[in-house]
Amino acid sequence: MAAMKEVRFIQADVFTDRAFSGNPLAIIPEDVGLTTEEMQAIAREMNLSETTFVLPADDPSAAFRLRIFTPTAELPLAGHPVVGACFVLAQRGRLKLEEGANRIFQQCGAGVLPVDIHVRKGEIVRVYMTQARPQFLKSTMNRALLAPAVGLEEDRLLPDGLPAQVVSTAIPQLMVPAQGLKDLEQIQPDFGAMRKVFQALDTNCLMIFTRQTIHANSTVHARMFAPFLGVPEDPATGSASGALGAYLVRHGVMEARPTAHLIVEQGYEMGRPSTIYVEVDGGADGPTQVRVGGQAVEVGEGILKF
């Protein structure tokens, strides 16, 4: 009989400072020689939007390497796995940190990227990840294509002449502006119609947002759907929030002189309120760099045996 494997995991809620809100994340903090197939099976078993595996880095400039899986696919980069894993590793003393701002580098499918960990009075207060340089891909003003995917009337979408556009900071994700909070509350996603949108625009993710917010200090309120990656709806999406920040700067909704600061609120319709901090640096040719940050809180740990 083959020896049984034991894999320790930590579960944390990310983009929040309270348990049972934010976006749940499973972290496998140690390299135990898992195959890609075993990692994917574990992510499917955990059944969270993402599971991340902490591995030794191939690049000597990186502190570690992260592999990130949804229940159905591996991703080159994702926000809440990077922020959550770095927050937990820092809290557990796995990273050498000093008071104030600390920069480390993490390696993932998108390359070696910096992470900034802010420490105040010995406590981890916020972690920011840098995403890949934003790319602006296909766009559309076709409300008739978009409206059935989210179950809204056509006139509730694309206000102020803003287009729906795919933006990538490592993952191509569709940004769809909507009129107001009530519209986002009333969304009834149709995944068949959403598949048509994805096929037309070469993406697997749709973030719909409004500039009308619940909290006065928030910039936008958002919901994100990626059903064909195993995530029917995500309560907090760092990669999409970074892409959204770049979109808002690109289309003149926000100015980056030199940096735009925004707060994305997400997850409220799922009962998991989340707060995502986004910074977008601007240059002569538009957005140049995107950083996404937040907090995390551990909620449990255990051992998988197989």
The pLDDT assigned to 257 comes to: 87
- What is the mean pLDDT of the segment spanning 176-180? 98
Q: Are strands 111-120 and 123-130 parallel, antiparallel or unpaired?
A: antiparallel
With beta carbons less than 8 A apart as the criterion, state whether 265 and 236 touch: no
With beta carbons less than 8 A apart as the criterion, state whether 184 and 269 touch: yes
Residues 85 and 228 in one domain: no
Contacts of 129 (CB under 8 A, 6+ apart): 79, 82, 83, 86, 106, 113, 114, 115, 238, 291, 292, 293
Residues 288 and 181 in one domain: yes
Residue 15 has pLDDT above 90, yes or no: yes
The answer as to whether 190 is a domain residue is: yes
Does residue 119 sit in helix, strand or coil? Answer: strand
The pLDDT assigned to 21 comes to: 98
Residues 69 and 161 in one domain: no
The answer as to whether 56 is a domain residue is: yes
Residues 166 and 24 in one domain: no
**Positive or negative, the Cα torsion across 279, 217, 176, 186?**
positive
The pLDDT assigned to 232 comes to: 97
Q: How many helices (H) and strands (E) does the chain have?
A: 6, 18
Residues 204 and 231 in one domain: yes
Residues 23 and 55 in one domain: yes
Residues 90 and 45 in one domain: yes
The answer as to whether 124 is a domain residue is: yes
The pLDDT assigned to 284 comes to: 85
The answer as to whether 184 is a domain residue is: yes
The answer as to whether 114 is a domain residue is: yes
Kindly tell me the burial class for residue 111, based on how many C-beta atoms sit within 10 Å of its own C-beta (0-12, 13-18, 19 or more).
middle
Residues 195 and 87 in one domain: no
The answer as to whether 21 is a domain residue is: yes
The answer as to whether 1 is a domain residue is: no
Percent of the chain with pLDDT over 90: 97
229-268 pLDDT per residue, tens: 999 999 999 999 999 999 999 999 999 989 999 999 999 9
Residues 45 and 125 in one domain: yes
The pLDDT assigned to 285 comes to: 86
111-158 pLDDT per residue, tens: 999 999 999 999 999 999 999 999 999 999 999 999 999 999 999 999
The answer as to whether 88 is a domain residue is: yes
**For the chain, how many structural domains are there in total?**
2
Residues 160 and 219 in one domain: yes
Residues 152 and 172 in one domain: yes
Show the domain range for 18: 6-129+295-305
Residues 22 and 122 in one domain: yes
The pLDDT assigned to 159 comes to: 98
- Catalytic residues, by residue number, are 50
pTM over 0.85: yes
Does residue 147 sit in helix, strand or coil? Answer: helix
- What is the mean pLDDT of the segment spanning 87-97? 96
- What is the mean pLDDT of the segment spanning 92-101? 95
The pLDDT assigned to 2 comes to: 65
- What is the mean pLDDT of the segment spanning 31-40? 97
Residue 1 has pLDDT above 70, yes or no: no
Give the start-end residues of each E strand in the chain. 6-14, 23-28, 51-55, 64-69, 74-75, 100-108, 111-120, 123-130, 135-140, 164-168, 172-177, 206-210, 220-226, 231-234, 259-266, 274-283, 286-294, 296-305
The enclosing domain of 281 has a CATH number of 3.10.310.10
The owner of tokens 């009962």 is: 271
